[in-house]
Amino acid sequence: MVGLIPTHTIISPSISELKWDVEISDRLLQIQLAVKKLLENQFADEIIEIRIGFRTLGILWHRIPDPQQLLHFLNEIKDPLTDPLSRKTWEIPVCYENEFAKDLPALAEAKKLSPEELIRLHSENSYRIHFFGFLPGFMYLHGLPELLFSPRKTVPDRNIEAGSVAIGGSQTGIYPTNSPGGWHIIGRSPLSFFDAKKLPPVWASPGDLISFCPISKEEFDSLKNSSFQPTWK
Amino acid sequence: MIKDPANLTILKTGPGTSVQDFGRIGFGQFGIPISGAMDIRSMKWVNHLLKNKENEAVLEISQPGLKIQFDAPTQICLAGAKSNVFLNGQFIKSEGLIGIDFGDILEFGAINLGSKIYLGIKHGFRILPVMESKSFYPGILENGNLKKGDQIGYFTNQEKPKPSPVKVIFNRDWMLSDTIVAYEGPEWQFLPDSTKAQLEETKFTISNLQNRMAIQLEELIPNSLEEMSTAAVYPGSVQLTSGGKLIVLMKDAQVTGGYPRILQLPEDSIAHIAQKRPGETILFEIKRGFDFSKPH
């Protein structure tokens, strides 16, 4: 377990953070989820919310417990018993056709790939959901093939349509709402990724997997007009 | 006690008038900003005087020019920034309880001290909360900023309240201080000593780039830190961008970020910096550690 031991830093009277100095991995996420659960059970009255980062757990406290008590507890869980990660894979239909993929041709060219190869590389992998952030319902995903890593645009687009699937840096993601953004747009999903009227407002959870499934423009239109909900297997 | 529904109408407003409470606490895990009043200190004072719940929603006003008409009697309370306030054309005080009668018109002129005015109303506004909060946020609770013609519901007991004999003072001395208390952020430890010293000694100017999401400071700080793996950020987190700009995250900020978080402002300091205007300067007083024996 060397390297998987986090450091705990108290930042303000209501914020502290656990940090792991290791590479992002499924194993690390498994440990983060286990530690999160243990903390939430032990300090149910003191903790407002624990938020996952790629290598951190950010803890928002009503009140931070006595540091000695906290340190003792954290020492006990440095090597937690972890549950296996979720086996759910959500299938996300994505239309990669030109109308929805304005940056795909240029990105494929820069990568010396055909558009079809780029789509294949993007859609044959599955991606792990680590946490939500950036925008309501935006999933931080890990697992983009290195071949597709691509620096963000120097000048961000002023408006990216909700459902747009994009690549930025070492990540791929889906814009859940219309937003400005600096990632390369390679397709669009007809699904809804955030519903403020529902609780929880998102259908997936950290630890789940997602995969992208290429669809035609016709399929996109018919799914868009139906109340199609994503499914997992 | 009668509690009939009534409405106020926005006759005129500049940008930046919205309904806010403490915000959506505990929904960051879904990517949802906390939102809520920028200056919780003034908001709490308003609700305290009105004998409302401390989390009752209030109007946050950040530009002069707001003109409101009330269609039925109520009691309101003002705090936060000091401004020229007129009730039916008569100049009145800009803090404390104010009795409102049928058809009264309240108008806000120039802001003289501070930046955000808070207007609370007896029994609160009639707004259906979304995720436990009445705070406006685009895509979650719509109509982000109030505009001309908008109406907001409240409750009336059909009778103008008698003026309170109790004189209360809303002390604004804290708004005058340029010293903003901050804690070391998670990435502070990686800064070279020279940069740390610079952060403590520089008078930073509030830039024009300031809204409910963030306040950007003008002076640049050399940044030798690398971008980090995306992690949680909070209102009051101070990010150092790759270009050396300091960004103080405020209530509508994103919940995660990749820039080093070099300082963290506590709630009182968020209220304090929220009352600063573009062009004003601040100095960070950086606290190292804190006393756990005291309640906080």
Would you list the domain boundaries of chain B?
4-170, 177-287
* Identity of residue A67: P
pLDDT at A80 > cutoff 80: no
**Calpha distance A20→B243 (Å, rounded):** 27
Contact B209, B285 (CB under 8 A): no
Gap from A172 CA to chain B (nearest CA, Å):
14
Lowest mean pLDDT across A159-163, B36-40, B122-126, B290-294: B290-294
Chain-chain contact of A12 with B236 (C-beta, under 8 angstroms): yes
Q: Which CATH class is domain A89-232?
A: mainly beta
Distances (CA, A) of A119 to A67, A110, A152: 50, 14, 19
Count of CA atoms in the C-beta half-sphere (13 A) of A155: 1
Distances (CA, A) of B40 to A64, A221, B47, B160: 21, 46, 11, 28
CA B278 to chain centre: 15
Instruction: Report the complex ipTM.
Output: 0.93
Nearest CB to B256; choose among A49, A53, A196: A53
The pLDDT of residue B144:
62
Q: From the CA of A209, how many Å to the nearest CA of chain B?
A: 16
Q: Which of B190, B228, B255 would you mutate first to test chain A, the one with the most A CBs within 10 A?
A: B255
Q: What percent of chain A has pLDDT over 90?
A: 82
Which residues touch B156 (CB under 8 Å, ≥6 apart)? B2, B3, B4, B5, B6, B72, B73, B74
Q: Interface of chain B against chain A, CB under 8 Å?
A: 25-26, 28-33, 130-131, 139-141, 183-186, 229-232, 234, 236, 254-256, 264-267, 290, 292, 295-296
Least confident of A1-5, B91-95, B161-165: A1-5
Q: Is CATH 1.10.3080.10 the right assignment for the domain spanning B177-287?
A: no
Q: Do domains A7-76 and A89-232 have the same CATH topology?
A: no
CA distance B253 to B31: 10
How many CB atoms sit inside 10 A of residue A182's CB?
A: 15
Q: Which two tokens stand for residue A215?
A: 């669809």
The sign of the CA dihedral A104, A106, A110, A115 is: positive
- Calpha distance B154→B7 (Å, rounded): 6
What is the pLDDT confidence band of residue B295, given thresholds at 50, 70 and 90? very low
Residues in chain B closer than 8 A to A9 (CB atoms):
186
The residue assigned the tokens 């055909």 is A114
* Residues in chain A within 8 Å Cβ distance of B28: 49, 51, 60
| Structure confidence by residue, pLDDT tens digits, B222-242 | 998 987 999 999 999 999 998
CATH class assigned to A7-76: alpha beta
Chain A nearest CA to B232, separation (Å): 6
Residues 6+ apart with CB under 8 A from A69: none
Q: What is the dihedral of CA A58, A61, A65, A70, to 10 degrees?
A: -20
Of chain B, the percentage scoring pLDDT greater than 70 comes to 96
B296 band by pLDDT with thresholds 50, 70 and 90: very low
Q: What is the DSSP letter of B189?
A: G
B166 or B244: whose pLDDT is higher? B244
How far apart are the CA of B168 and the nearest CA of chain A, in angstroms?
30
Query: Using CB atoms, which residue from A17, A63, A202 is nearest to B30?
Result: A202
Return the residue of A nearest to B142 by Cα.
A196
For residue A67, the chain B residue with the least C-alpha distance is: B292
Query: What pLDDT was estimated at residue A2?
Result: 47
Residue A127's identity, in one-letter code, is Y
Q: pLDDT-derived band of residue B73, with 50, 70 and 90 as boundaries?
A: very high
A75 — pLDDT class (breaks 50, 70, 90) = confident
The 10s digit of each residue's pLDDT in A165-220 is: 999 999 999 999 999 999 999 999 999 999 999 999 999 999 999 999 999 999 99
Please determine, for residue B262, whether its predicted confidence score (pLDDT) is greater than 70: yes
Q: How far is B149 from chain A (nearest CA, A)?
A: 26
Of B130, B232, B267, the CB nearest to A58: B232
Query: Which tens digit of pLDDT belongs to each residue from A34-53?
Result: 999 999 999 999 999 999 99
Mean pLDDT in residue range B54-74: 97
3-class secondary structure per residue, chain A: CCCCCCEEEEEECCEEEEECCCCCCHHHHHHHHHHHHHHHHHCCCCEEEEEECCCEEEEEECCCCCHHHHHHHHHHCCCCCCCCCCCCEEEEEEECCHHHCCCHHHHHHHCCCCHHHHHHHHHHCEEEEEEECCCCCCEEEECCCHHHCECCCCCCEEEECCCEEEEEECEEEECCCCEEECCEEEEECCCCCCCCCCCCCCCCCCCCEEEEEEECHHHHHHHHCCCCCCEEC
List pLDDT tens digits, range A102-160: 999 999 999 999 999 999 999 999 999 999 999 999 999 999 999 999 998 888 899 99
Q: In chain A, what are the domain boundaries? A: 7-76, 89-232
Buried b (16+ CB within 10 A) or exposed e, B69-92: bbbbbbbbbbbbbbbebebeeeee
Structure tokens belonging to residue A17:
């953070």
Which pTM value belongs to this model? 0.94
Q: What is the mean pLDDT of residues B132-143?
A: 90
